[in-house]
Amino acid sequence: MTAVSRKVLARALAAVFAVALAVFIIGPLAWLAVRAFADSWTYPNLLPDGWTLHWWEVVFRDRSLGIAVQNSLFFAPLTVLVSALVCLPAAYAFARFEFPGRRFFLIGLFAANAFPKMGLFVSLAALFYAFNLMNSILGILIVHVLGTVVFMTWIPAAAFAAVPRSLEEAARDAGASKLRVFFSVTLPMALPGILVAAIMSFLASFDEAQGTYLVGAPDYMTMPTQMYSLVLNYPTQVAAVFSILLAIPSVALLLAAHKHIVGGQLAEGFQIK
């Protein structure tokens, strides 16, 4: 009897916790989303005074906001591509070869995440000034790629390492060349991990604001950096509309890759082996 009532109590506590978490996580987003369609809003009403699509018009008309969208959609895929070219071979090497300095390299990669971001960007400035990378596309690209190196190396490395060697050997034994084995056995099996890495990199680039602002502003504004000035210079509703636009690609990716990310591909990558 007491065991049953204790179970019920535990479930009730868990439900309360879940509702609190929902308010904590979703509440601010929902509150912001409503604002995008709000005419005006009088405190302390829980709903706006009236509804309008006016703010969407403002955003779509504004050229500078459009350019920010374009810039973001330019940098994010480019970052993923460059990062993949640089990092994926390394990921394979970490998973499959034993070479001198391997462990040192792995720890070295960690350095990219061990330095708090803002400090790192401030330190980068001298180099960027010296090589004229300030306010340049290449400069922004470097900042973005730096933020993805860890994802692009560690997560695919764990995915490659998880492919059993015996499967590769079986394909070799069946007469496949090394290259053929890689493309028809290893790569397909590691693909979910690589996909997660690509998505995380895309989001990291899409989300990058501090470094882009320091290096690119005001010449190159991406969507997140545009938000900095938007918040100061426009009505709150415009920022709300812009926020929704900025969240669309992310949420689409969330729905597409939710299973793999929650499935541990991400977590696997963060343990040095």
Task: Provide, rounded to whole angstroms, the least separation between the CB of residue 24 and another protein.
Answer: 7
Q: Which two tokens stand for residue 95?
A: 């998973």
105 lines the binding site for another protein (CB under 8 A): yes
Which residue stretch of 56-64, 158-166, 187-195, 253-261 sits at the interface with another protein (rule: CB under 8 A)? 253-261
The residue range among 58-66, 142-150, 158-166, 183-191 that interacts with another protein, by the rule CB under 8 A, is 142-150
Q: Is 98 in the site for another protein (CB under 8 A)?
A: yes
Q: Which is nearer to another protein, 62 or 228 (CB)?
A: 228
Please tell me the distance from the alpha carbon of residue 59 to that of residue 239, in angstroms, as a whole number: 9
| Interface residue with another protein, options 8, 129, 170, 180 (CB under 8 A) | 129
* Binders of another protein in range 10-69 (CB under 8 A): 11, 14-15, 17-18, 21-22, 24-29, 31-32, 35, 41, 43-46
Helical H segments across the chain, by residue range:
2-35, 54-61, 63-96, 102-114, 117-130, 137-146, 149-161, 165-173, 178-181, 187-207, 210-216, 223-233, 236-260, 266-268
Verify binding: residue 146, another protein, rule CB under 8 A.
yes
Q: How far is the CB of 109 from another protein (least distance, A)?
A: 6
List Cβ<8 Å contacts ≥24 apart for 107-111: 107/272, 109/149, 109/150, 109/153, 109/154, 110/150, 110/272
The binder of another protein chosen from 40, 49, 70, 89 (CB under 8 A): 89
Nearest to 150 by CA among 75, 86, 56: 86
